[in-house]
């Protein structure tokens, strides 16, 4: 039963065509390894036309009739196991792409006008697969192969150079006296952050984590070395829609490819008395934990009653 519910939620998430582009739909999707809360943005929508004219990553999925055929072929229990696997990889791929140019379709064929090329679903052995039509001619991938491809790309610093969706900061993040690279999604472009350490004149991938941007909440503003502690650097987020609410997340190097969120300094103007409070909260959360979601469960947020909290003081 759980698998059936998962399949329904997944198909609804990836294939529900949104009538209003400004509307945001959230689906909770339970995968093999974690609970993901994914947001369907304007980048993810259902494809109703089989003629493709603009660059996209296309999730090709089975339609209702094909699902029934797969159940008969594999048996119902095995089918839902296969569907669970597909759901997991689709969710992971969408996370890596940050929903950019990702669409979904259960159509039987896809025609690419510029390339005078047609891809038929029946010619591919997998019931779930991907068509990558971002650069050049469209290419077909299994979900596993495409997931592996994206993971290897993320670990290459060159992928982020001259990419309009990211900004790059030169910071010594491992305290060896050498400038490294911190790469982050720009505001409204995602919540990813990537650490690259300089070794032998090249930048080596060290960690993927989050920049603490939130849907409907604070967004990344800047990343810079800490002025109070040379062994830490700061991920600075702000609330973009009025009022004063800022978060300064202090990241501290622990050991090889290992960093932790040491503390967070929250600054907020209280609407009740128009006074600005600064709250210094010790964290001690490993940055790796934010990818799995565990880090957000450990993250201490700003006290609800800042005017009464012992961790908060009035800003001079």
**pLDDT tens digits, residue range 24-63?**
222 323 333 333 333 333 333 445 557 887 778 899 999 9
| Rounded Cα gap, residues 2 and 35, in angstroms | 13
Domain that holds residue 272: 157-314
Does the pLDDT value for residue 107 go beyond 80?
Answer: yes
Answer yes or no: are the C-beta atoms of 230 and 173 closer than 8 Å. no
Range name among 25-29, 132-136, 193-197, 243-247 with the lowest pLDDT average: 25-29
Domain boundary among 154, 188, 205: 154
Q: Within this chain, do residues 109 and 240 fall inside the same structural domain, yes or no?
A: no
Number of domains making up the chain: 2
Are 148 and 161 within one domain?
Answer: no
Q: What is the mean pLDDT of the segment spanning 136-145?
A: 86
Confidence category of residue 98, pLDDT binned at 50, 70, 90: low
Q: Quick one: 309 and 161 in the same domain?
A: yes
- Say what the pLDDT of residue 101 is: 67
pLDDT for 17 equals 34
Q: Under a CB-based contact definition with an 8 Å cutoff, are residues 61 and 119 in contact? A: no
CA distance 276 to 187: 25
CB atoms within 10 A of CB 124: 16
Long-range contacts of 232-236 (CB under 8 A, 24+ apart): 232/262, 233/171, 233/173, 233/182, 235/184, 235/193, 235/211
- pLDDT score, position 137: 84
Q: Are 135 and 189 members of one domain?
A: no
For 25-34, 90-99, 166-175, 238-247, which range has the lowest pLDDT when averaged over its residues?
Answer: 25-34
Same domain, 68 and 135: yes
Are 83 and 135 contained in the same domain? Answer: yes
How many alpha carbons fall within 13 Å on the CB side of residue 170?
3
Same domain as 263, residue 169 = yes
Q: Residue 134: is its pLDDT beyond 90?
A: no
> Do 122 and 187 fall within a single domain?
no
pLDDT > 60? residue 95: yes
Q: How far apart are CA 92 and CA 40, in angstroms?
A: 14
Each residue's pLDDT tens digit, 65-93: 999 999 998 889 889 988 988 888 888 88
**Residues 208 and 254 placed together within one structural domain of the fold:** yes
**What was the pLDDT predicted at 100?**
61
**Which two three-digit tokens encode residue 111?**
């025609």
Q: Does one domain contain both 297 and 168?
A: yes
DSSP three-state, residue 289: helix
Mean pLDDT score, 91-103: 76
Mean pLDDT, residues 159-181: 92
If asked whether residues 141 and 177 sit together in one domain, one would say: no
One domain for residues 162 and 289: yes
Listed residues 105, 130, 154: the one ending a domain = 154
Task: Write down the pLDDT at residue 253.
Answer: 95
**Which among 154, 175, 195 is the end of a domain?**
154
Confirm whether pTM is higher than 0.75: no
pLDDT at residue 49 in the model: 54
Q: Which of 24-28, 99-103, 144-148, 207-211 has the lowest mean pLDDT?
A: 24-28
3-class DSSP state of 38: strand
């Amino acid at each position: 039963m759980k698998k059936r519910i998962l399949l329904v939620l997944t198909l609804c998430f990836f294939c529900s065509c949104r009538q209003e582009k400004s509307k945001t739909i959230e689906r909770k999707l339970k995968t093999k390894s974690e609970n993901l809360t994914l947001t369907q943005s304007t980048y993810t929508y259902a494809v109703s036309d089989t003629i493709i004219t603009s660059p996209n990553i296309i999730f090709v999925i089975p339609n209702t009739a094909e699902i029934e055929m797969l159940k008969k072929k594999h048996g119902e229990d095995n089918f839902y196991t296969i569907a669970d696997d597909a759901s997991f990889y689709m969710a992971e791929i969408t996370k890596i792409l940050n929903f950019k140019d990702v669409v979904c379709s259960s159509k039987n064929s896809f025609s690419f006008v510029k390339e005078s090329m047609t891809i038929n679903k029946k010619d591919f052995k997998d019931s779930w697969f991907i068509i990558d039509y971002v650069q050049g001619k469209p290419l077909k991938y299994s979900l596993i192969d495409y997931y592996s491809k994206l993971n290897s790309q993320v670990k290459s610093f060159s992928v982020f150079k001259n990419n309009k969706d990211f900004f790059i900061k030169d910071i010594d993040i491992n305290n060896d006296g050498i400038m490294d690279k911190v790469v982050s999604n720009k505001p409204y472009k995602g919540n990813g952050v990537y650490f690259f350490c300089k070794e032998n004149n090249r930048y080596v991938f060290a960690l993927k984590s989050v920049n603490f941007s939130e849907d409907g909440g604070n967004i990344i503003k800047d990343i810079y070395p800490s002025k109070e502690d040379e062994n830490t650097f700061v991920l600075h987020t702000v609330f973009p829609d009025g009022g004063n609410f800022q978060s300064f997340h202090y990241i501290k190097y622990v050991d090889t490819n290992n960093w932790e969120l040491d503390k967070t300094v929250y600054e907020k103007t209280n609407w009740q008395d128009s006074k600005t409070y600064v709250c210094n909260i010790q964290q001690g959360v490993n940055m790796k934990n934010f990818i799995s979601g565990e880090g957000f469960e450990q993250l201490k947020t700003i006290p609800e009653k800042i005017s009464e909290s012992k961790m908060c003081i009035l800003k001079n």
